[in-house]
Structure 1
Amino acid sequence: MSTAAQTTEDTNIERIPFESLGGADHGWLRARHHFSFANYHDPNRTGHGPLLVWNDDEVQRGAGFPMHPHHDMEIITYVREGAITHGDHLGNSGRTEAGDVQVMSAGTGIKHSEMNREDGRSTLFHIWIRPHTLGVTPRWEQRQFPKEARDGRFIALASGRQADLDGGALLIHQDAAVLGASLMAGQTTDYRIGAGRQGYMVVSRGKVTVNGVALCLRDGAVIRDTRSLSITADEPAELVLADLPV
């Protein structure tokens, strides 16, 4: 896998170019994998702390993931374009639109489907985080997040941290957070990772420079040993960041 890294005294950002990602084309689904998944395996890319999966999926109209099981995993879906319609054996159902998020705690076991009922394709990030507690009661939640709330700053979309939950984030069973931000061209925002933490960020839209490292559309960035991030949008941009324990 080809990557580009830059290291300074306070920065260790490793760029993961989109074109270097593993993937599969099933016709109804075009998937790119930031980490090893299904038939794609890279021994150097098997996760980042409790973050095990970050799939960049394009689901064609009328298609999707039919009913299938999971257990003991926190599964966060961030919709980039279109919408996805959820159903599960617990009786939950709902439609999550672009920019919004759904969370499923698989826990002791859940069967679910994720379908594209829209007129065109839907694109999304599937993010899997290992929980800190096994065997929790399975659950599903979906929430709309006001787009203006993330203008120029990161807001927590899903989190296991009480302050984020008090601010409206969806619950996950891990000391981690998935955050979103939108930036205008030329705009800069800062984010503090903090001691004993690490991160993974993906550019959902546009281009940005993070602590001097240029990231293009759908690139990933591994963040290690870095106390804070300074992010400038080279063009209108949308970012998704996982803040993780080491």
Structure 2
Amino acid sequence: MVGTVEVRRAADRGVLPGVPGVDSRHSFSFGAHLEPGNTHHGVLLAHHEDRIAPGAGYDDHPHRDTEIVTWVLAGTLEHADDAGRTAHVTAGSVQRLSAGSGVVHRERNAADDELHLVQMWLLPDEAGVDPVHEVVDVSAALHDGGWVPVAGPADRSVGAGLGIADAVLHVARPSAGADLELPPAPFLHVFVARGEVGLGEAVLHPGDTARLAGPTATVVRTHTDAEVLAWAMATDLMGDPDR
């Protein structure tokens, strides 16, 4: 397998229209933003960066057989669903919603300041399971600046579990001048939430992503203090690590 690195810039993302108070930027084809050749990377189906005004958000809507991971960068997200579960998610906490056989939920900005988050959808290993919702505070583990596995299989995550055996979300908050070895995986999706980082010959700024497949550049160098998210995945949607 020949290694590839594809850099996608923040300005090239799709914009979700029609939700008052929500600025939602989409890295993959989604809803009204149609890109037939840009539907996924590994088992990652959707990757949104949202900025949500106080009181705004998404009204009741359904999900099924989707693993939804939310990472809050600033503000407070309020979750409520048809099973009576409620939660407030703040920066340094990860939310996992395994929709399974079906969930109707709503998400809103519950505070007086702007809510800034990243939400990611993945294909689960098994369909029709009982829905699971959890919120885990992992802020203490982020203090040393290295990668922290904040969502993944129970034996590979210090945060939320996932119904996927071969996908782990890592988050790091390194200081300027740090070198971070990327987690080893056939498929990687790297997102810069804050700061400026180098990856090979590319320089990534907030909102930029890099999609890596096969043997590629393995070090992220931080030019400034930064926050970086990296999905490490063993397969793509066809289950073939060499595809």
- TM-score under structure 2 length normalisation: 0.90
What residue in structure 2 maps to residue 13 of structure 1? 5
CA distance in 2 between partners of 1:47 and 1:163 (Å): 26
Does the 8 A contact of 1:192 with 1:227 survive in 2? no
CA deviation profile, 1:161-189 (whole Å, cap 9, x unmatched): x4314xx2311111201110011111111
Matched, 1:22 2:14: yes
Structure 1 vs Structure 2: percent identity of aligned residues?
28
Kindly tell me the number of residue pairs found equivalent between the two proteins.
233
- In structure 2, list runs of 5 or more residues that go unmatched: 236-243
Alignment of 1:177-196 (within 5 A): 177-194=168-185
Residue 245 of structure 1 deviates from its aligned partner by 2.2
Match 1:243 to one of 222, 232, 239: 232
Aligned positions of 1:81-230 closer than 5 A = 81-149=74-142, 151-160=144-153, 162-165=154-157, 168-174=158-164, 175-194=166-185, 197-226=186-215, 229-230=218-219
* 2:32 is equivalent to residue 39 of structure 1: yes
| Structure 2 residue matching 1:241: 3-state secondary structure | strand
8 Å CA contact 2:142–2:173 kept in 1: the answer is no
Alpha carbons 2:20, 2:56 under 8 Å: kept: no
Instruction: Give the alignment's Cα RMSD to 1 decimal.
Output: 1.8
Find out whether 1:232 has 2:221 as its counterpart: yes
**Separation (CA, whole Å) in 2 of partners of 1:145 and 1:95:** 14
CA distance in 1, matches of 2:143, 2:200: 20
Distance of aligned partners of 1:57 and 1:218 in 2 relative to their CA distance in 1, 3 Å threshold? same
> Is contact 1:11–1:211 with CA below 8 Å preserved after alignment?
no
